Chain A
Amino acid sequence: MTVLPIIIAPKSGESLTSWLDRSRHYYGMNDIWSFVRAAPVSYGGKWVGDIDVKCPSELFKCLAAAFSIQKGELEALRTSLKYRLDPGLRKAVCLQCWAADMLEGRAFYRRDLWSFPLALVCEHHMMPLVDCPSLPRSEAEFMTLYQPCLDRQAASELALRNHRDTCEILRVTMVPRGGEVCPEHLRYLEEFASILHWELRDATRPIGTALRLRLYDFKRRGEFHWRDFFGDPYWEGGKAPLYRHGTVRLGRVPGVGYRRQLIFATLDALKAIKHQDHHYLGLIGRRAEKEFVRLLRLAPPSVVQDLMLVAETF
């Protein structure tokens, strides 16, 4: 099989679609699919809606041959991308990362970590992610489109500090008491958000966007912390639940699992999907429950223990 004359190598942490988008743009093709259909990739398999999540192995094989890249190296991209928003919602970017790309002479690319449903800030720069639908193709384009945003951030030192403080809170409150930041917890929350997103895919507003925007909104006003996720709607003693955008505590409630409590609390906290009140008690859950149990079975025991620990701690 012919190898492409110029190899566009995937960058560290880049999503598969971002890599293919850069490649197809370099080769002047209109879209990713016309690129992979044409020689030398010559993928003849069926159409796939979201190649980040379920890229067929035959396509990996074709890409590996055409790009002269190890198949395993490409498959590593796929395995790290299990819980993501819909392709149409993967617009969040860290402008500081792109500015760093520009300064270091790299091509602009989207990091896969930006596309997780609960990704609100960039892990490197601790800056809030912003929505940027288009990938800048050149430094000039980046400067034109996004420099004003960067300038605004830099100009408002106070706002910048607030952003950073909020982000620090976010990180700190992610930590179980006295513990360290646990990537598994983050991943666990991502799973929940992913399930939520899937369950509410028919909602009028995309839940992913709603989640991200509302969370950021609350966070900016200092009214939201990660611990708000964890609470108990059935507060013992018959007291009214401490709803401050849904501040509840998880407890051992017969018949109501932690996962469902967490979903309830999240939905209450966000108030983003109130019109689905009558749905989520009944419809959210069964399918999600199965998915959750499946994920939990796949997860290592330490994750399950951490989950219980978090639930009891908060």
Chain B
Amino acid sequence: MVGSFDLAHLVDDEVRGAVGLDLSTRLAFIEAERDYAFPYAQHLHEQLERLLRAGQGRTRPPCRRIVARSGMGKSFILQQFERRHPRVISKRKGTQWPVLLVEVPPRPTPDALVHAILSKLGAPIPSKKRVALQYHALNLLRDAGICLLIFDELNRIRHLNDDIAGETCELMRWYSSVLGVPGVVSGGPAYVHIFQGDEQLGDRYLPIEIPTFVVDEIFLRVVSTVLAHIPMREPPDEEIFTEEGASLILKAGGVTTAKVVHFLKDQAMRCLEEHREKMMLRDLKVPL
């Protein structure tokens, strides 16, 4: 309780505590990045955990390709997963680095990919020829005890011609196969045709698709979750959680997580600036 307001509509004490803060702090609180633990994110975490448990030394390690439009929170989820499994460096036991998340470079040729791996590992990059460098990175990955190899932003592969793009994807599969560890690739739909056009890659990397939002129960839960993280004294208008409200949000905000969250935050901040503590459906404005 803050004053005479019942704050049961807010998700936790941290958000409830923020209600009593001054306006600028509340606005900053709203703008901050946070984990909403959406159901699809939890599902993806479970899938990744299962892959991680598969461990090293597999003859045919299970691999997945995550496909979703930009703004669905893939990178956020993967980074969060990586943070949950940090590396441990010990002089006696050696390095244990369970999850390696590599963001592929803007032009992900095989050479650039190897450089990205070495850079992510924090190793110096020697001047070696291509094959020697690939094996060098392989040895480092093996010694680091990698159990799950993730490549993010693979949609950047669209800047390459199909042959080079195929080589890059093949290199990812090679690392996964030789190390015997599961591999995950992630990105927008732009890279899917490479995997669909290659039988080996397509069979090995099974798809996990995250669809964009439509007006349904899942989307309403997403809206409800986001609003529960916004410190307003009064609960949002019930009209927002109707089919009409959902349609308006999708139309005004967008169909991806980032856009929906951004739209709702924007509206909330506008309400607070106008000294309103309750978000109403009729007040939601479609941006120009």
Contacts and interface: CB of A to CB of B under 8 A. Distances in A.
B127 interface: yes
Query: Which bracket fits the contact residues of A?
Result: 10 to 19
Interface in B106-121: 121
B140 interface: yes
Contacts of A41: 124
B89 A40 contact: no
A38 B122 contact: no
Contacts of B133: 28
A69 B122 CA distance: 16
Interface in A61-114: 68-69
B124 A5 contact: no
A40 B95 contact: no
B124 A6 contact: no
| Most chain A CB atoms below 10 A, which of B95, B124, B133 | B124
Interface of A: 2-7, 9, 27-30, 35, 38-41, 68-69
A38 B124 contact: yes
Contact of A7 (B89, B124, B127): B89
A30 B136 CA distance: 14
Interface bin, chain B: 20 to 34
A41 B123 CA distance: 9
Contacts of B89: 3, 7, 68
Chain A interface, >50% SS class:
loop
A3 B89 CA distance: 9
A41 B144 CA distance: 18
B125 interface: yes
Contacts of A39: 122, 124
Contacts of A35: 124
A5 B126 contact: no
Contact of A29 (B126, B140, B144): B126
A28 B95 contact: no
Given A7-B89, A9-B91, A30 B122 contact: no
Contacts of B121: 5
B127 A30 contact: yes
B95 A27 contact: no
Nearest to B141: A5
Contact of A28 (B122, B126, B143): B126
Interface string B129-142: 00011001000100
Nearest to A1: B122
Nearest to A39: B124
A5 B97 contact: yes
B128 interface: yes
B122 A2 contact: yes
Contacts of A7: 89, 91, 94-95
Given A7-B95, A38-B124, 18 more contacts: A5-B121, A5-B123, A5-B140, A5-B143, A6-B94, A6-B95, A9-B91, A27-B123, A27-B126, A28-B126, A28-B132, A28-B136, A29-B126, A30-B126, A39-B124, A40-B123, A40-B124, A68-B89
